[in-house]
Amino acid sequence: GAATLDDHDVKLALGRLALGRGMAQLVPEVLDFTRTQMAAILTLKIPERSVEYAMALFRTFSGLLDNPTLHMELMRHTEEVLDIALTFALDPSAENQLVDKAAAASHPDKL
């Protein structure tokens, strides 16, 4: 059946991607964006985990970004983001660790 790509899935997938790409400084922007803008696409579903449909979903998601740099970084890794997000094999407990790591990387002076 269809799976809903919810706020948590997208936030964690993008956050993990950012950390993996050494883009931790962008994570706070991603988290802020997902908290405030995801409602616009949460009604869309991914039928049978169709990658084509998911690509369209992600393009819609990326198109909502105001930050051109972040937009380009995300689009550059569209397929990888979708691969991560579509597996839904994300550990819910990793979110706090992700946020902590992102904060530490963004503000090394606070360590």
Q: For 10-47, what is each residue's pLDDT tens digit? A: 666 665 555 555 544 555 555 555 544 443 334 344 34
Q: Note the pLDDT of residue 47.
A: 41
Task: List for the chain the helix, strand, coil content (%; round to 5).
Answer: 75, 5, 25
> Could you give the CA distance from residue 51 to residue 39 in angstroms, rounded to a whole number?
21
Cβ neighbors of 17 (< 8 A, separation 6 or more) are: 23, 77, 80, 81, 84
Residue 49 pLDDT:
43
Kindly report, residue by residue over 51-63, the tens digit of the pLDDT.
Answer: 454 555 555 555 5
- Angle, vertex CA 60, rays to CA 59 and CA 61, nearest 5: 90
* pTM check: above 0.85: no
| Cα(53)–Cα(60) distance, integer angstroms | 11
- Is the pLDDT higher at 41 or at 106? 106
- In this structure, are residues 106 and 29 in contact, taking their beta carbons and an 8 Å threshold? no
Per-residue pLDDT, 68: 58
